[in-house]
A and B are shown apart, each in its own frame.
Chain A
Amino acid sequence: MEEISLANLDTNKLEAIAQEIYVDLIEDSCLGFCFEVHRAVKCGYFYLEFAETGSVKDFGIQPVEDKGACRLPLCSLPGESGNGPDQQLQRSPPEFQ
């Protein structure tokens, strides 16, 4: 096998290789992020990620009306009433139920 030495390549070519590697890494990061977001959307937890910065209304989903304490079994814990989960996160949108 013939050996190829990077030392024999001129600075411009080495720089071009470094740039190529950099572009590859950025593309990887961007694609990975896109897949992460897409997965979050399809699995139904995308809107939860954005609960801090917005609300489900941003996506045309109406938030659940405040009907007092949540009656879901997991939320029916002994203690003060009205201790249900954050209203914005109370229920997943209909399409994900």
Chain B
Amino acid sequence: MVVSKMNKDVQVRAAINQTLIEKLEKENSSELLRAKLIECGWKDQLKAHCKEVIKEKGLEHVTVDDLVAEVTPKGRALVPASVKKELLQRTRTFLAQHASL
């Protein structure tokens, strides 16, 4: 019974460790993506689009929902193919390296 409890503890610790590694990788990927998107002008293009949305809705009346509805689809479409490729490759490499959950 003690052995089985120890095994369970080891498993739980391994699962927690794996989660932390995955979260760290996600955080690192997020940071990398943010930097790439600024570098390629994505943020500037989206800023210009936001300006239009805010002009249309009014500075005082624009809501988060308005911005999300109008800006998110454009944001998705504006991501350059090179950034997408790099990020996907990084994710595939991570999945290949961490072959068990």
Q: Is the C-beta of A6 less than 8 angstroms from some C-beta in chain B?
A: yes
Q: Out of B15, B60, B71, which one reaches A33, CB within 8 Å? A: B71
Question: By the criterion CB–CB under 8 Å, are B100 and A59 in contact?
Answer: no
Minimal beta-carbon separation of B77 from chain A (angstroms): 10
Interface size class of chain A, counting residues whose CB lies under 8 Å from the partner chain: 35 or more
> B95 contacts A6, CB within 8 Å?
yes
- Contact code string B24-60 (vs A, CB < 8 Å = 1, else 0): 0010011001100100000100111011001100011
Report chain A residues within 8 Å CB of B63: 38
Q: Contact between B91 and A54 (Cβ–Cβ < 8 Å)? A: no
Query: What separation, in Å, do the CA atoms of A14 and B26 have in the docked complex?
Result: 17
Check A41–B48 contact: CB distance below 8 A: no
Residue of A nearest to B87 (CB): A22
Q: Which of A6, A15, A38 interacts with B100 by CB under 8 Å?
A: A6
Dominant secondary structure at the B interface: helix
Tell me the bound Cα distance from A54 to B54 in angstroms: 14
Residues of A within 8 A of B75 (CB): 26, 29-30, 33
Q: List 10 A-B contacts (CB under 8 A).
A: A5-B101, A21-B91, A25-B29, A25-B33, A29-B37, A30-B68, A33-B43, A38-B62, A53-B47, A59-B54
Minimum CB–CB distance from B71 to chain A (whole Å) comes to: 5
Within 8 A of B (CB), among A34-93: 34-35, 37-38, 41, 46-47, 49-50, 53-54, 58-61, 93
With A31-B72, A50-B51 given, name 5 new contacts (CB 8 A).
Answer: A29-B34, A30-B68, A33-B75, A38-B62, A59-B55
| A30 to B, closest residue via Cβ | B75
Using known A-B contacts A3-B100, A37-B50, determine if residue A25 contacts B87 with beta carbons closer than 8 Å: yes
Q: Which residues of B contact A17 (CB under 8 A)?
A: 95
Q: For B100, list chain A residues within 8 Å (CB).
A: 3-7
Q: Which residues does chain A contribute within 8 Å of B59, judged by CB atoms?
A: 41, 46-47, 59-61, 93, 95
